[in-house]
Structure 1
């Protein structure tokens, strides 16, 4: 299996640190608001990656954090007149509810920054002892230039970074920092109502970047297999994580860096973000959109590619899911009959070929488009065999299992997809018309039969005459 490593800018053969086991850390949300679908894209992308690893037999230790203290949280809590802790609890619960609706598997562990203050202080102290950090007026900064490989992940030029940083510093920061590109590990308390903890450098709170270094190394080890997150985290967040972690441990921090593409909106394909005000929250979207459709829409694009969010693209995803549903219903319907199974070498061969193509595509840096294309080619074969006078029920049953497993990688549960909804008065009317059409066919009243079929078509109902009787479905 090959995955694209952001650090080396190449596809590399994936070799885990321990055979059969994967350590995976994915940066989670800052919990000051509902997540938008750009945030959800990262959760869905890495859940899909995790699920595929598990499909391939790996045991995945998946850690994803909650940043539950930073400037945005302090400002949001202050605006509402509540504590930062109360704000965090609200939006952690909302995040879990929204991602559960999108069938994102719970992480092995969701550590929280405020629960790791002691470990964070110890980590910062280690960096100071090793000469990579310094205290200045109650703050602690990382001495960036002392880390020889700074900028390699995001291909940043140190001189250009220094020039750019100088333009954005206020006078106080300029005086405290030894270098404009140094970044904060610990922020001293500036106002009395700010959330703060005691430390050797006075009351304060951790910087954003140090949290993930501490939580990753604490729960997964000094060196991990995969670190993931959105492309916007490459710099400065992940660059700073590398600098902090490798300076503290003296070991390689991450073997494979993986970053998902942005979600864009509109004809100009502008990146979706809260700062631009062009975002749609998952919380609101789920009120009007089927969660399976949204999940499939996000999961069916290769993780490194950007996704353009639009109602048309959502509709396309919904139509594809309907194709899967239609095939699964056809297979299930045929498997219920009591006729004997007649082997089809062609169908069995096609199923094995599909498995091979699917795995080959997914092993190529999770190329989900090619993987899905392989499955699409199988669907007509399954539909044809399900409707045949003599069906290969043994292979159909195997195909049902494979299709269920493949869809699960994309977060789609086959049984949920095919679940019947409660009958309505309209359903009763359809059933009555289908019965009348069946009777007309028995009476060889073809004109009446055709008339009833047309009536049903106008109601959005497709009628199918199969060897096992008449079936109907909504278009």
Structure 2
């Protein structure tokens, strides 16, 4: 599966700072010091509907991570998956009377278009669950051979008790885990399971549903968590720098994925930092496909909204914050974009070197994009009120905003 085209990232004078970011597993900040190649895995979409603002906010956060690393003169090895076979996708395809593969291809293509418009840097590998199945099957077999997996009526489950580090990503108690498991694709009440929250590794073939040859596992399809583990281990290896996604993935997805990988490799931890973006609400409720309260990036684009304004609306909120999308949020971003573009179109302005360092400092401090935007606003106000004599300053500001914030002026 192919990703989307990369927009050029302008080179800036000087060098960025190492990223200090909140780690869910430790509950506090960690300063990441990757080697020459920083490694990041971000969980992708299940393509049964278009990209909504909640998706865009999550991918914007991890786009900033990449930009901070690139500014430190590192390379970035970014991997993202697409869960292109899963119950919600199959259910939507049946509801709309469309082939599930056609639905997945259509929505994945639209996601690529949205990411391109928003200037999100693409992953080096963009891998669908279906194409990863040949690598998933041996991992499930190995977990079974290690005594970490067991069968219930032909389905293969992972035993969370096999990982001594289980629970160290989310730090939830058993009751909370069971509740979230039921809400997020698990089956805690199924008879025969050793632990109610044990997740499925391999689902035996069901009549009328797609299935693949699972060698000794029989025909079936993979569970959600082992999909990402197989892709991450294959392309990044163990101990990569950042495991990213929305905060709704902390449990069960990232907790289970960490345990799968740790049992498979005997190493700990799977990732040096578990980084999670907050949720976006609409009309007082979290934006979600199941509730249908969605604002789609593609619809905003069709209505003529500048993608740069959409991106500025996202950047106006700290990535870890839960916030609400409103018409005013978008209007504020449109207004800000207009001021910024007018400022960089002038022939000169106040010196911009200090502004570049302010943006760098803000982003290195747990991706504080709102502080970075405020720094640019102050430069724009100074230019509007008193002008300036530095003929290179507007160009420096334009390149810095593009390189570090992903906003083309």
TM-score of the alignment, normalized to the shorter chain, above 0.5: yes
Q: Deviations over 1:342-400 (max 9, x none)?
A: xxxxx44xx333233222222111111222222222223334665xxxx63xx331442
Structure-to-structure mapping, 1:43-442, within 5 angstroms: 43-158=59-174, 161=177, 169=187, 173-175=190-192, 177-191=193-207, 193-199=208-214, 200-251=216-267, 252-266=269-283, 269-288=284-303, 289-331=305-347, 347-348=350-351, 351-383=352-384, 386=387, 392=389, 395-414=390-409
Deviates more, 1:50-59 or 1:91-100: 50-59
Q: Deviations over 1:8-43 (max 9, x none)?
A: 011112111x2x320010000001121211112112
Kept in 1: contact 2:202–2:220 (CA 8 A): yes
Distance between the aligned counterparts of 2:182 and 2:56, measured in 1?
34
Q: Find the structure with the greater CA-based Rg.
A: 1
Distance between the aligned counterparts of 2:331 and 2:393, measured in 1?
30
Kept in 2: contact 1:37–1:282 (CA 8 A): yes
What SS does the corresponding residue of 1:218 show, helix, strand or coil? Answer: helix
Q: Which runs of 5+ in 1 are unaligned?
A: 336-346, 415-475
314 and 205 in structure 1: CA distance in 2 versus 1, 3 angstrom threshold: same
The answer for the alignment partner of 1:14 in structure 2 is 32
Kept in 2: contact 1:300–1:410 (CA 8 A): no
Distance between the aligned counterparts of 1:107 and 1:128, measured in 2?
32
Q: How many residues are treated as equivalent by the alignment? A: 386
Kept in 2: contact 1:38–1:262 (CA 8 A): yes
The answer for the alignment partner of 1:466 in structure 2 is none
What SS does the corresponding residue of 1:110 show, helix, strand or coil? Answer: strand
Deviates more, 1:154-163 or 1:89-98: 154-163
Deviates more, 1:151-160 or 1:193-202: 151-160
Distance between the aligned counterparts of 1:399 and 1:101, measured in 2?
23
Q: Which runs of 5+ in 2 are unaligned?
A: 1-18
Distance between the aligned counterparts of 1:48 and 1:99, measured in 2?
14
Kept in 1: contact 2:64–2:367 (CA 8 A): no
Distance between the aligned counterparts of 1:34 and 1:242, measured in 2?
28
What SS does the corresponding residue of 2:346 show, helix, strand or coil? Answer: helix
207 and 165 in structure 1: CA distance in 2 versus 1, 3 angstrom threshold: closer
Kept in 2: contact 1:38–1:263 (CA 8 A): yes
- TM-score, normalised relative to structure 2: 0.88
Kept in 2: contact 1:6–1:153 (CA 8 A): yes
Distance between the aligned counterparts of 1:40 and 1:373, measured in 2?
21
Kept in 2: contact 1:298–1:307 (CA 8 A): no
Distance between the aligned counterparts of 2:372 and 2:299, measured in 1?
31
Kept in 1: contact 2:281–2:322 (CA 8 A): yes
Kept in 1: contact 2:181–2:188 (CA 8 A): no
Kept in 2: contact 1:24–1:62 (CA 8 A): yes
Kept in 2: contact 1:217–1:223 (CA 8 A): no
RMSD: 2.2
67 and 160 in structure 1: CA distance in 2 versus 1, 3 angstrom threshold: closer
Deviates more, 1:140-149 or 1:153-162: 153-162
What SS does the corresponding residue of 1:205 show, helix, strand or coil? Answer: strand
Q: Deviations over 1:305-325 (max 9, x none)?
A: 123200111111111111101
Kept in 1: contact 2:178–2:188 (CA 8 A): no
What SS does the corresponding residue of 1:39 show, helix, strand or coil? Answer: helix
Kept in 1: contact 2:258–2:270 (CA 8 A): yes
Kept in 2: contact 1:120–1:214 (CA 8 A): yes
Distance between the aligned counterparts of 2:60 and 2:47, measured in 1?
17
404 and 161 in structure 1: CA distance in 2 versus 1, 3 angstrom threshold: closer
